[in-house]
Amino acid sequence: MSNPEFSNPIVKWVDYRLPIFSMMHHELHEYPTPKNLNYFWNFGSLAGIVLGIMIVSGIVLAMNYTAHIDYAFDSVERIMRDVNFGWLIRYIHMNGASFFFIVVYIHMFRGLYYGSYKAPREILWILGVVIMLLMMATAFMGYVLPWGQMSFWGATVITNLFSALPIIGEYIVTWLWGGFGVDNATLNRFFSLHYLLPFAIAGVVILHLAALHQHGSNNPLGIDIKKKGDTIPFHPYYTIKDLFGLGVFLTIFVAVIAYAPNYMGHPDNYIPANPLVTPSHIVPEWYFLPFYAILRAVPDKLFGVLAMFAAIAVLFVLPWLDRSPIRSAKFRPVYFIFFWVFLADCILLGYCGAMPAEQPWVLISQLATAYYFAHFLIILPVLGLYERPVDLPLSISGGSPDEDAPAAQAAE
């Protein structure tokens, strides 16, 4: 790391004692980034920004929220009606959760398409899956807080998943509830954990970034950086591109908050929780639907729960299931097809999850579940052995990988 010369004496004084300016210079300005990143590489920084939006809006909401079964629903209604801009802050937080998952799911499918999980980025990918799991837990507990009908029954169904475990299941569920059902103790602990987990996510994000900066970003060609001409500094080139993407994102986000703030929610959650009446059709938030479909596809309680958790667990070992040394789907003609089939399968599962547990949806979700696992456990390992990849380019900027062609540099 070459330490830059700072002209500002205060910056110089601070940097000598705490080298944050050197670090920022190193990680942002010097940090070499492949010059061919497309717009799918915007979603990582976008996810970080949405996390920030969620933490800030959440802290403000917590100032007016009451975590008690008799007051929670009314305190949320008070935020909506009486607190200055409370409606706006709550809609930002509510829709922010959905947009967080949209951004992260695109970010993950980007990783799947371009093989970003392959060596040497396996830990980077695994940390990402950990972040997704923490997000799911946080989103689930946050959804319980308004204490509407969907909050209550969503919490009941999800906590009951653990009762499927043999012998210890019942004890675990009672322990999770702090009682004999979802009740005040449950609401209180969910609020406590809902406030805690985003900071845990932020911690894992820092590890995710540290792992990213070790080997740098993957790129659409999926080949390594061979020479200086393959890269450009992160700042200002990608800071400005990320900012442009953020502008587009915020335009869509604000449009939804302004014109369709309840589009992704359920009307039943505006009915206060009633422990004696289950809504006729319980559906989780849209971002859980594919996993919910997998849960319901298996007719056995324990194996349904195990299949649902396995659907996420399989992502942890993905870097070792995909045996192909080629990263990008651009150069893997067969994987290219299976990638899109897999994406369609995930969307189909999501659709099945929203449908009632009747035929033909049960059968369709069973087939889609089987395909989901086949993709990871059969198709990917076999493709690694038999697929003939297309010839890779020699380097990102073309030409010989050994030398920096002056012509290529001039073209930048």
Partner 1 sequence: MPDTAYETNDSHDDFDKGRRDFLYMATGAMGAIGAAAAVWPFIDSMNPAADTLALSSIEVSLAPIEEGQSVTFKWRGKPVFVRRRTAAEIAEARAVPVGDLIDPESDDDRVKDGKDEWLVLVGVCTHLGCIPLGQKAGDVKGEYGGWFCPCHGSHYDTSGRIRKGPAPLNLPVPPYEFLTDTQIKIG
Q: Using CB under 8 A as the criterion, which residues of the chain lie in contact with partner 1 when the complex forms?
A: 153, 156-157, 159-161, 163, 174-183, 185, 189, 275-278, 280-282, 296, 299-301, 304, 357-358
Active site residue 324: no
Among residues 230, 285, 322, 345, which one is catalytic?
A: 285
Active site residue 266: no
- Rounded to a whole number of angstroms, the minimum distance from the CB of residue 276 to partner 1 is 5
Of residues 176 and 212, the one with the C-beta less far from partner 1: 176
Burial of 389 (0-12, 13-18, 19+ CB in 10 A): middle
- Rounded to a whole number of angstroms, the minimum distance from the CB of residue 300 to partner 1 is 8
Alpha-carbon distances of 48 from 104, 128, 194, 206, 213, rounded to whole Å = 10, 12, 18, 10, 15
- DSSP of 236-283, one letter per residue? HHHHHHHHHHHHHHHHHHHHHHHH-TTTTS-GGGGSB--TT---SS--
Active site residue 45: no
The answer to whether the CB of 383 falls within 8 A of the CB of 339 is: no
Please tell me the distance from the alpha carbon of residue 283 to that of residue 298, in angstroms, as a whole number: 17
Among residues 15, 230, 242, 345, which one is catalytic?
A: 242
Of residues 5 and 358, the one with the C-beta less far from partner 1: 358
Of residues 154 and 245, the one with the C-beta less far from partner 1: 154
- Rounded to a whole number of angstroms, the minimum distance from the CB of residue 316 to partner 1 is 26
Of residues 189 and 241, the one with the C-beta less far from partner 1: 189
Please tell me the distance from the alpha carbon of residue 276 to that of residue 280, in angstroms, as a whole number: 13
Active site residue 170: no
In the structure encoding, which two tokens stand for residue 46, read together? 């976008």
Sign of CA dihedral 20, 26, 29, 35: negative
Burial of 38 (0-12, 13-18, 19+ CB in 10 A): exposed
Active site residue 403: no
Nearest in space to 148 (alpha carbons), one of 269, 321, 297: 269
> Which residue is listed with tokens 């009632």?
356
Of residues 83 and 282, the one with the C-beta less far from partner 1: 282
The answer to whether the CB of 395 falls within 8 A of the CB of 401 is: yes
- Rounded to a whole number of angstroms, the minimum distance from the CB of residue 404 to partner 1 is 43
In the structure encoding, which two tokens stand for residue 38, read together? 């497309």
Among residues 22, 116, 217, 395, which one is catalytic?
A: 217
- Rounded to a whole number of angstroms, the minimum distance from the CB of residue 179 to partner 1 is 5
- Rounded to a whole number of angstroms, the minimum distance from the CB of residue 54 to partner 1 is 26
Of residues 153 and 249, the one with the C-beta less far from partner 1: 153
Among residues 213, 224, 387, 404, which one is catalytic?
A: 213
Question: What amino acid positions are annotated as catalytic residues?
Answer: 213, 217, 241-242, 285
